[in-house]
Amino acid sequence: MKKNFGSLGQKLSAAGLLCTLFACSPPQDFANMQQITAGAEAASAPFAVQIVTQATLPTIQSWPSSHPPHSSDWIAHTTVASDGVIQPEDRISLAVWDNDQTSLLGQAGQKVIQLQDLRVSRDGTIFLPYVGDVQVAGLSATAARSMVEGKLAAIMPSAQVQLNRVAGLQNSVQVISGVPNPGTVPLVDANVTITTVLAQAGGIPPNVANPQINLQRGGKLYTIAAEKLLAHPELDTTLMGRDKIFVQPDQRYFLSLGAAGREAVIDFPQDRVTTLEAMSMIGGVNQDMANPKAVLILRAYPAAAVKAAPNQGPPKAQMVFAFDLTNADGLFSAGAFLIEDRDVVLVTQSPLVNTSNAVRLFTGMFMGSKTVFNSVQ
């Protein structure tokens, strides 16, 4: 039988060429530490590398945030008079009790005179027949009742007045979105809090990622995490008329890349996420590929945050924070280092991966060549 040695020679030559090429540049899946940080020592480098240890952590934690919040500080709870203040656009209903048989407002024998749905004008007044305009805005319901009785005394000396108020827009809050039942909620008294209104609007949906409570007041936006608000009663803000409330998921996120358990965009599930917690969220590291000695956090700071002195701010706008998760110091540092909005968690590739890939490639091609050689025997 004629043996096809020509074909065998071509296959062995091709295998030798592939082996030579991959020996010089073995297959690689992710970047390693040296590739990411190459050129960092140069003064002109646009980025800097900072090793994170328990010794360097306090300095790093003193730096400004890369993404400072846009909202102002939250407003704490305050206790005010329980009787709400009348405002323009409120509706007032009066029940006037009078025994005078010659009352100008009622008919003979009528004991109660009802004056319903009197709108408080923009000037803060209501109109009473035979009396004229009565200023009630800025008064509590009790004070307004006394004021009305005083004005009626000229025509009804024995009159007693009962006053009811229905809140208008200036004594109401608007729950805009993020709850089951958005809408306008009247403030029944002066001590209505934000958690009370949220409960009336159907509560906070359970499927919202780290829900953020937003309060608009006087042209400013105040934001707090629902978890923090519910855990601290002293932060249960007392609402004011024309406040606007909306609930939304936490808008912050970070990315996981490289030899991580998964590559993904990760939403913040809570206010504070440490590097160790982030590693857990991304599924840890790929045991076959990752280099736990070089887990990197890539972060971009605004130009205003860059400072020449290291204890005042980052030396470069683009920073690479490096963690060694194979020793206690690195693990404790990662457990205290906070992830910020839009950080990149990059798990680098182990330097042993290239060698392992080359060995597997050579072994595979050797076994394939052996099979070809045996087939032509």
Helix (H) or strand (E) holding 347: strand 344-349
Instruction: For CATH 3.10.560.10, list the domain ranges present in the chain.
Output: 33-67+252-354, 176-248
Minimum mean pLDDT range among 258-262, 264-268, 275-279, 294-298? 258-262
Q: Report whether 28 contacts 354 (CB < 8 A).
A: yes
- The angle formed by the CA atoms of residues 251, 254 and 255, to the nearest 5 degrees, is 135
pLDDT tens digits for 98-132? 876 666 665 655 678 889 999 999 999 999 988 89
Q: In this structure, are residues 37 and 346 in contact, taking their beta carbons and an 8 Å threshold?
A: no
pLDDT at 80 exceeding the cut of 80: no
Write the secondary structure of 198-224 as one string of H (helix), E (strand) and C (coil).
HHHCCCCCCCCCCCEEEEEECCEEEEE
pLDDT beyond 70 at 61: yes
Confidence at residue 289, expressed as pLDDT on a 0 to 100 scale: 82
Contacts with 226 (C-beta within 8 Å, 6 or more apart), sequence order: 204, 210, 211, 212, 213, 247
Nearest one of 291, 253, 293 to 273, comparing CA atoms: 253
Most confident of 11-20, 135-144, 305-314: 135-144
Tell me if residue 274 falls in helix, strand or coil.
Answer: strand
Mean pLDDT of 70-89: 83
At residue 94, the pLDDT reads: 93
Provide the residue type at 145 as one letter.
R
Percentage of the chain surpassing pLDDT 90?
Answer: 55
- 82 confidence band (pLDDT: 50, 70, 90): low
At 175-208, the pLDDT tens digits run 999 999 999 999 988 889 999 999 999 999 988 9
Instruction: Report, as an integer, the average pLDDT of 292-311.
Output: 88
Residue 360 has pLDDT above 90, yes or no: no
Residues 249, 267: contact at Cβ < 8 Å?
yes
Residue 186's closest CA among 202, 204, 165? 165
**Which CATH superfamily is 91-166 part of?**
wza like domain (3.30.1950.10)
pLDDT at 296: 94
Q: In the prediction, which pLDDT does 376 show?
A: 47
> Which residues, listed in sequence order, are joined to residue 69 by a DSSP beta bridge?
none
Residue with tokens 């070809």: 372
**What CATH class does 176-248 carry?**
alpha beta
When pLDDT is averaged across residues 330-357 and rounded to a whole number, the result is 83
Among 252-261, 280-289, 292-301, 332-341, the minimum mean pLDDT is found in 280-289
Q: Angle 332-336-340 (CA atoms, 0-180°, nearest 5)?
A: 140
Q: What is the DSSP string of 74-143?
A: PPPP----SSPBP-TT-EEEEEEE---TT-SSS-TT--EEEEEEEEPPTTSEEEETTTEEEE-TTSBHHH
Torsion of CA 61, 64, 69, 70, to 10 degrees: 170
Question: What is the spatial distance between Cα 267 and Cα 224, in angstroms, rounded to a whole number?
Answer: 17
CATH superfamily, with its number, for domain 33-67+252-354:
Outer membrane lipoprotein wza domain like (3.10.560.10)
pLDDT tens sequence across 145-170: 999 999 988 888 888 999 999 998 88
Mean pLDDT of 38-53: 86
Number of other residues whose CB lies within 10 A of the CB of residue 63: 19
User: Are the C-beta atoms of 66 and 299 separated by less than 8 Å?
Assistant: yes
What 8-state DSSP symbol labels residue 362?
H
| Higher-scoring residue by pLDDT: 41, 9 | 41
**CATH 3.30.1950.10 domain span(s) along the chain:** 91-166
Q: Which of 97-106, 148-157, 248-257, 288-297 has the lowest mean pLDDT?
A: 97-106
Residue 60 has pLDDT above 50, yes or no: yes
Q: Where are the beta strands (DSSP E) in 218-334?
A: 220-225, 244-248, 253-258, 264-267, 290-300, 318-323
- From the number of C-beta atoms within 10 Å of its C-beta (0-12, 13-18, 19+), residue 194 rates as buried
Q: Environment class of residue 143 by beta-carbon count within 10 Å: exposed (0-12), middle (13-18) or buried (19+)?
A: middle
Taking CA atoms, 54 is separated from 151, 235, 274, 329, in Å, by 74, 33, 14, 6
**C-alpha–C-alpha distance, residues 137 and 142, integer Å:** 12
Give the whole-angstrom CA distance, residue 49 versus residue 63: 15
